[in-house]
Structure 1
Amino acid sequence: MQTAATMPRRLNLEIVGIVLVAVFFLLTPIYVYPVFLMKAMCYAILGMSVNLLLGYAGMLSFGHAAFFAISAYIFGYVAKEFHFGVLPSLFIGVAAGTTLGVVFAAIAVRRIEFYFAMTTLALAQLVYFFCVQAPFTGGDDGLQGIPRGEIFGFSLRDNTNLYVFVLAIFMLCLLFTYRVVNSPFGEILMAIRENSDRVRSLGENPMSYKFIAFVLSAFLASIGGALKALVFQIAALPDAHWLMSGDGVLMALVGGIGTLIGPIVGALFIVAAQDGLAQIGISVVVLQGVLFIATVLMFRKGIIGELARFKKWFE
């Protein structure tokens, strides 16, 4: 847990980080293709959801692709078949993913460490095979032609309008995460990560906090999945594959687990690497495996964590 002396400084740094992230995504569309940035923001929300569990509660989940995909599929199906507006469709898709998170949490949070991770992976694979067989998902072809529609009179078929909308949702997710981790609830989560038995001895029930954290994490992952379906107008099986869960974990690790903007930095790095390697024909999966090993062995604090440690050398 953070001490009373270090907490104000951490909060100030996190606020500065939020401002820098906002400025970065406001200015970079001038120089960078906006669709790339929107993809990075969608993946960053997935990374934030994983980091909320792994970085602050110490719970490693390999099941977040399930929430990411179900939200994308339900959003796309409702928007395409029932012609609901963007916001109602997003709400329904995110609600579906969050509800699935409640089911996962009820089953998985009673397990610890390795068993928790394997339980979430097994549950996510059930969802993957459901997506393979369900008639509304389109199978291997995916659910294509998802309409972008409009919001408040602005057409989201225009990439500029779409970018502003995605950025607004992304910043709300970042502020939501900031509020959660810097609340008394977040402090108890970090205490559970350090010593759950001591938290229990103080009269709190760690399971209830883990349950809520898992559901909040699923909520964030669901937003990322629905936004990705909106941006690319397709929901496909790779969204439900366990490799998508691995990408979320890798983004949190590379950027820095337990840091607010670490998953965002990790998402930008991973998405840039994926797009760059795809163009030159190098296996993305192999590089991600090497990157994961290097992160674990050489810089376990991630990019943001290592930068913070480097800064301390000069203080």
Structure 2
Amino acid sequence: MMKALCFAMFACAFNLLLGYTGLLSFGHAAFLGSAGYATGWLVRSAGWPPELGVVAGTAIAALLGLVVGLVAIRRQGIYFAMITLAMAQMVYFICLQAPFTGGEDGLQGVPRGKLFGLLPLQNDLVMYFVVLAVFVAVFLFIVRIVHSPYGQVLKAIRENEPRTISLGYDVDRYKLLAFVLSTAIAGLAGSLKTLVLGFTTLSDVHWSLSGEVVLMTLLGGMGTFAGPVVGAFTIVGLQNYLADRVGSWVTVIIGATFVVCVLAFRRGIVGELIAWQKRRADRSAPSS
């Protein structure tokens, strides 16, 4: 459950960028993984308390997002996606070669410690409620962003960027802020994931994880609040349930599930439910 909540935060962060701003990033795993490495090293090797390690990891992900965003944000469509992928691969090779990351072995044995010196995070129940509280706070924060005037501008950029520019909005500044917010939340998810599992590895910065978060968002329903959460729980649940039963075939099964979902309900699980409820409400409404 804690791992699923961390990935749900990751998917919600990605949905803020893709679902509400219309920017497709193929390198979002770099921000989750870099924050995880930073938190793991600071807590294990530097002796930082877990709360400061998480804050530092989130800040590093946001700073990295600012650097990548300044380079990529002026491009659109596939060019933006390719720049994010290229920058993410640079982060991957840095994590592979840097001496403090553990290379192919990753960072092992990251202690959870005590939150604020009081709450023993070694207790799984305490750790679960901390992760749950952070997830709820992040979810409500994203809802607030989307419903704010800033969020309405993001939707306008997604629907018609030239018209938004004609209205006088500095589109690049809005998109850059959305990118940094998304990367910061992704970094928060990565930092918590490192504390939950006690380790972080190269798989956390690999491009395949960036593909997984795209799958989670599209499967659950892009541009909906609950969609990424449903998609993350579905993918993580399938991976955990099928890993011991079918081995490496779990990737094939998840891929086939995604293909069926795209063909059967293109809006995603939650998107199709919302559309069905809307059609039902329209049919039951009295005709004028």
TM-score (norm 1): 0.86
Which amino acid counterpart does residue 274 of structure 2 have in structure 1?
Answer: A
Structure 2: stretches of 5+ with no match in the other structure: 282-288
Tell me what 1:257 maps to. 222
Question: How many residue pairs are counted as aligned between the two chains?
Answer: 279
Q: Within the alignment, does 1:65 sit opposite 2:33 as a pair?
A: no
Tell me what 1:196 maps to. 161
RMSD of aligned C-alpha atoms?
1.1
The superposition leaves residues 14-52 of structure 1 with CA deviations (integer Å, 9 ceiling, x where unpaired) of xxxxxxxxxxxxxxxxxxxxxxx1011000011011100
Aligned-pair identity (%): 48
Alignment of 1:231-250 (within 5 A): 231-250=196-215
1: CA distance, partners of 2:20 / 2:85: 20
Tell me what 2:185 maps to. 220
Change (3 A) 1:292 1:119: farther
Tell me what 2:131 maps to. 166
Tell me what 1:108 maps to. 72
- Which of 114, 130, 140 in structure 2 is aligned with 1:150? 114
Q: Within the alignment, does 1:52 sit opposite 2:20 as a pair?
A: no
**Secondary structure class of the residue paired with 1:281:** helix
Tell me what 1:136 maps to. 100
**Secondary structure class of the residue paired with 2:24:** coil
Shift of 1:241: 0.5
Which amino acid counterpart does residue 243 of structure 1 have in structure 2?
Answer: S
1: CA distance, partners of 2:79 / 2:132: 36
Tell me what 2:173 maps to. 208
Tell me what 1:310 maps to. 276
Tell me what 2:232 maps to. 267
CA contact (8 A) 1:253 1:295 kept: no
Shift of 1:285: 2.3
Tell me what 2:58 maps to. 94
Tell me what 2:253 maps to. 287
Tell me what 1:15 maps to. none
TM-score (norm 2): 0.94
2: CA distance, partners of 1:310 / 1:125: 40
2: CA distance, partners of 1:219 / 1:296: 29
Tell me what 1:230 maps to. 195
**Secondary structure class of the residue paired with 2:110:** coil
The superposition leaves residues 123-148 of structure 1 with CA deviations (integer Å, 9 ceiling, x where unpaired) of 11111111111111111111001010
Shift of 1:118: 1.1
Tell me what 2:285 maps to. none
**Secondary structure class of the residue paired with 2:280:** coil
Shift of 1:167: 0.7
Which amino acid counterpart does residue 85 of structure 2 have in structure 1?
Answer: L
Alignment of 1:18-33 (within 5 A): none
The superposition leaves residues 243-273 of structure 1 with CA deviations (integer Å, 9 ceiling, x where unpaired) of 1111111111111110111111111100011
The superposition leaves residues 196-217 of structure 1 with CA deviations (integer Å, 9 ceiling, x where unpaired) of 0000100111111111100000
